Amino acid sequence: MLYERPAPILRRWLAGHSYDWIALGCAAGQKESLLAKKLPPPAIFHAADTNLALAQRATARIKAARKSYGRIDLDSHLASFPPPFSPRRLFTLFGVLPNLAPLPLLRRLSQKMRKGDLLLFSANLAPETSGFLGARRILPQYDNPPTRRWLESAVRQFRPRLDPGRLFFGVFPDPRQRTLARIEARWVSARRTTIVFSSRRPTPAQVETWIRLARLRRVARFLEPRREEGAWLVTR
């Protein structure tokens, strides 16, 4: 499993040290729990998510000497984290990067990290050297009956603000980075077009560029065999 593969490197990094674990955008902590099975329990586990109830559920999945949770908005200024308790801190950010502007987010996280802290994050990828070719290849994973039913149900909840129309799926340039492919579902009506869903799909090379621009250094990279998802372990 992708989320278990960094464990040997992390165990060497710990080498008998205690550590704090800050899980960002963790939802209910399913992915974090996969990694936790392979690591010694942290001294502190702090779960941070926009949904406070889910963050609280995440703390129940992880064994730790101390636990806390809080609400966080990763798309704006990052709130302060619990005061460091251990000499080492591990930040995780799983399944979030496709939904937010990635480079500004990594820069904000870099500013919060101390020298020696580690950040482990994952990204959905475009499985080609060209992000747009790769995004078009995986477009059927989004443009399918179950996803259409889910999005159409969500759109109906917003009526009458959204006029009657239809869903259209396509690959478009990201507004903030034109070389970055973004899969979008658009609600098209006679009066206007509204983006109701989007997912950024970078290439591994684009993720590596973001890491450098955020003044982070890659420790390790893990790619799924189909190269549709990857995880990066980075430090200051």
pLDDT tier, 221 (very low <50, low <70, confident <90, very high otherwise): very high
Task: Return mean pLDDT, the chain.
Answer: 92
Return the pLDDT at 129.
83
Provide the angle, in degrees to the nearest 10, between the axes of the packed helices 102-112 and 204-213. Answer: 40
CB-based contact 155:127 (threshold 8 Å): no
Strand partners for 46: 22, 68
* Residues 6/12/16/22 CA torsion (nearest 10 deg): -30
| Domain ranges, ordered by start, for the chain | 7-125+202-235, 131-200
Question: What is the rounded distance in angstroms from the CA atom of residue 153 to the CA atom of residue 198?
Answer: 16
Return the pLDDT at 159.
63
Q: What percent of the chain has pLDDT over 90?
A: 74
The fold of the 7-125+202-235 domain, in CATH, is Rossmann fold (3.40.50)
Lookup: tokens for 171? 């690959």
Strand partners for 177: 174
pLDDT (mean) for 24-46: 96
Largest CA distance in the chain: 63
DSSP-derived secondary structure for 24-47: ET-TT-HHHHHHHTTSPPPSEEEE
pTM of the model: 0.92
Lookup: tokens for 187? 């609600």
Return the pLDDT at 209.
96
Return the pLDDT at 134.
95
Residue 19: exposure state from Cβ atoms within 10 A (0-12, 13-18, ≥19): buried
Question: What is the rounded distance in angstroms from the CA atom of residue 198 to the CA atom of residue 171?
Answer: 9
Give Rg (Cα) of the chain: 19
CB-based contact 4:38 (threshold 8 Å): yes
Return the pLDDT at 36.
97
Return the pLDDT at 86.
83
| Structure confidence by residue, pLDDT tens digits, 149-205 | 999 888 877 666 778 889 999 999 999 899 999 999 999 998 899 999 999 999 999
pLDDT (mean) for 144-148: 95
pLDDT (mean) for 13-41: 95
Q: Choose the weakest-confidence range: 44-53, 96-105, 113-122, 129-138.
A: 96-105
Q: Which ranges of the chain would DSSP assign to H, the alpha helix?
A: 7-14, 30-36, 52-61, 102-112, 131-137, 145-156, 204-213
CB-based contact 219:117 (threshold 8 Å): no
| Structure confidence by residue, pLDDT tens digits, 37-93 | 999 999 999 999 999 999 999 999 999 999 999 999 888 777 767 777 888 999 999
Return the pLDDT at 161.
75
